[in-house]
Amino acid sequence: QKEVEQDPGPLSVPEGAIVSLNCTYSNSAFQYFMWYRQYSRKGPELLMYTYSSGNKEDGRFTAQVDKSSKYISLFIRDSQPSDSATYLCAMSESSASKIIFGSGTRLSIRP
């Protein structure tokens, strides 16, 4: 079993919809949780960064961490065609430990 599981998709939704992307993990020691966005033929770029449990909001994006369920989510409100990309979750135990990436969910926003 992988340490981090992520549905590969593809996920296709109409413009303006609310998108929910999720990851589950098995290592209860993870404390740092990240979401990276990767456009086609580009490198990943950091989108959201959270520590421990709770929510973090940045514009149309909200990251949610539920450590009791070992489950993290990324919500995108008012989705735009420019949000079409692959979204990778990532997590680590501490700032000194390696980062474990999910395999990514491919998202397509239909105009």
Partner 1 sequence: NAGVTQTPKFRVLKTGQSMTLLCAQDMNHEYMYWYRQDPGMGLRLIHYSVGEGTTAKGEVPDGYNVSRLKKQNFLLGLESAAPSQTSVYFCASTEAGGWAKNIQYFGAGTRLSVL
User: Alpha carbon of 17 to those of 20, 50, 76, 108, 111: distances in Å?
Assistant: 10, 24, 8, 11, 11
Q: Rg (Cα) of the chain, in Å, rounded?
A: 13
What sign has the CA pseudo-torsion 73, 77, 80, 82?
negative
- By CB under 8 A, the residues from 25 to 44 that bind partner 1 are 32, 34, 41-44
Peptide bond into 10 cis (omega under 30): yes
Smallest distance, Å, CB 100 to partner 1? 8
When asked if residue 105 is in the footprint of partner 1 (CB under 8 A), the reply is: no
Binding mask 51-80 for partner 1 (x = CB under 8 A): x-----------------------------
- Contact residues toward partner 1 (CB under 8 A) are 4, 6, 8, 32, 34, 41-46, 49, 51, 88, 90, 92, 95-96, 98-99, 101-104
